[in-house]
Amino acid sequence: MLVQPLLIGPLVGATTSHSFRIWARVGPSAAALGVRIKRVGSDHWTKADWAPSLPQYDYTAVLQFSNLRPGTRYLYQAVAFSVVPFSERSLLENGWPDAQFAVSTFPLDTMPVSFLMGSCRHHGCTRVGTVDPVQPQGHASDTAFGSIEANLRSREHAPQFLLLMGNQVYADMPFFVSPQLTPVRADQFARHYHNSFAQPHFQTVTSQLPTFMMFGNHELTSGWGGHRYPVKLPQANLEMGLRFFEAYQTNHSPRVEHVARLTEITNPPHDPPYDYQFSCGPCDVFVMDVRTERKYKSDKHPDFRNMMISPQQLRRLEQWLNTGGPVKCVVSPVPMWPDHRKGSWPPSYTANDLWTQCPGQRAMLLKRFVRAQRDHGKKIVILSGAVHCSFLARLDGRFEGEPFSIDNFVTSAFNWPFFGLTHGSFMWEDGLSLATEDAVGFDRLSVTCVTDTVVTKNSYGQVHIERDGDEIHFQIYNAKGAMVKSWPPVI
């Protein structure tokens, strides 16, 4: 048979006002991903286009469609082709499946934008070292996506895209066997990714909502970061973990400029950087990599200043801040504030993973945020996950004598089956830890929980931005789709 069903997908990746990408896992028995599209209302499909299966990336494939109309809804069909090239006659003889998917290109920058955000989709404990069958429909990890699917087009503001800000897989599971399980083999990572990406509601949502991803602190092992290799963690964990991260999370992202060149990468992972940018309406988004570039001081380097991101990424972020649209959404998968309260649970791990460990670099970033707002008229919003609770944390203060305010929207977790952080786990109204030499110009810093308390149940968020950026709305939904917090409050 020329036409075969996909094993996982399709998933809509990087999207602009004139293009979108389709990703899928076609499997080892297929040669390529095949897709055809048409505008909603049109009777004519395009000729089938295809992208080769990439064995080095777990038999996944990515295909881009360009020169499209902005703010336009398209239908598409996606299959696996057993052989390529092929004749149109043979394709007609085999036929396309009945399933059709719909996706919209992004609107022009004069239109409002709305998007969903979340992180941390725990999938339970499966056997070590085996590729388990996909967990059945109804698994708790897919509950939130079931509510997203049910309400996708009925919300007051239909979302244009989805931000997944880390821990799409928990590679260090099963937790009760070893909290620090460190996989190094392809089959170990494949087990987690196959279970995660093949969940039915997740597939339905991501087949129609452009999805942008970044890794969290569990994609490779618990609390991983560039500072832990190769002394504390095996290099094989880093290399194999990043290979699967690229295959499933970043090859369809804006990080890859030309998806056709993925065939040239014969021995992934590909070289960093992993940070990337995209825009939708009045909103520009910078997705930070806060893991691979980490460097912490050690016994060998006692004078080294802790860094969450490299100087090169910092320069890219600064250049991006001062150009483009009126609203700048900075995705930091771990919250930039509030700080973790000493003595609260979990005691040291959470504090070690957050920006608390990099007060100097956080002060440098904060200066750039404030100046972008003051000198360039930008509205800065931080988007985060990771901490297994959801809230709006507002940083108020003065810089060089002038008041400023910046919000950090935090949503986590889609599914976390254990107890976790609470309102008392964070430092509120207690200022912010900034390195003395970099804090010059700041005073009266205070962090407020604008949502009054943190949501500790499974949840995700929605952000709506008006065309001029003057109005930004943030809502938190529980896993069943009920709104539990809103800012500004819903009266």
Tokens (6 digits) for 346: 């979990």
Give 399-421 as a DSSP string. ETTEEEEEEEEE---SB--S---
For the chain, report the end-to-end CA distance as a whole number of angstroms.
58
247: DSSP letter: I
Q: Could you tell me where in the chain the CATH 3.60.21.70 domains are found? A: 109-487
- Single-letter residue type at 155: R
In sequence order, the β-bridge partners of residue 478 are: 459
CA distances from 115 to 59, 110, 418 (A): 30, 16, 27
Residues 476 and 411: beta-carbon distance below 8 Å: yes
Closest CA relative to residue 38, chosen from 76, 11, 66 = 76
What CATH number belongs to 1-105? 2.60.40.10
Q: What is the dihedral of CA 24, 188, 177, 139, to 10 degrees?
A: 20
CB contact set of 471 (below 8 Å; sequence gap of 6+): 465
What CATH number belongs to 109-487? 3.60.21.70
Q: Could you tell me where in the chain the CATH 2.60.40.10 domains are found? A: 1-105
Closest CA relative to residue 337, chosen from 415, 406, 413, 424 = 406
Global pTM value: 0.94
Q: How many CB atoms lie within 10 A of CB 425?
A: 21
Per-residue pLDDT of the chain in tens (491 residues, 90 and over written 9)? 688 999 999 999 999 999 999 999 999 999 999 999 999 999 999 999 999 999 999 999 999 999 999 999 999 999 999 988 877 777 766 778 899 999 999 998 878 999 999 999 998 654 443 434 445 455 788 999 999 999 987 777 899 999 999 999 999 876 444 445 789 999 999 999 999 999 999 999 999 999 999 999 999 998 899 989 988 899 999 999 999 999 999 999 999 999 999 999 999 998 889 999 999 999 999 999 999 999 988 756 666 789 999 999 999 999 999 999 999 999 999 999 999 988 776 655 567 889 999 999 999 999 999 999 999 999 999 999 999 999 999 999 999 999 999 999 999 999 998 887 899 999 998 778 887 788 899 999 999 999 999 999 999 999 999 987 889 999 999 999 999 999 997 64
CA distances from 79 to 10, 12, 33, 83, 129 (A): 9, 14, 6, 12, 30
What is the distance of C-alpha 137 from the center of its chain? 23
How far apart (Å, rounded) are the C-alpha atoms in residues 240 and 104?
A: 34
**Phi and psi, residue 188, nearest 5°:** -70, -45
DSSP 3-state of 306:
coil
Tokens (6 digits) for 157: 């503001």
Tokens (6 digits) for 62: 């990515």
How far apart (Å, rounded) are the C-alpha atoms in residues 336 and 290?
A: 11
Q: How wide is the angle at C-alpha 313 spanned by C-alphas 222 and 348, nearest 5°? A: 30
Give 291-305 as a DSSP string. STT-B---SS-TTPP
Sign (positive or negative) of CA dihedral 12, 13, 15, 18: negative
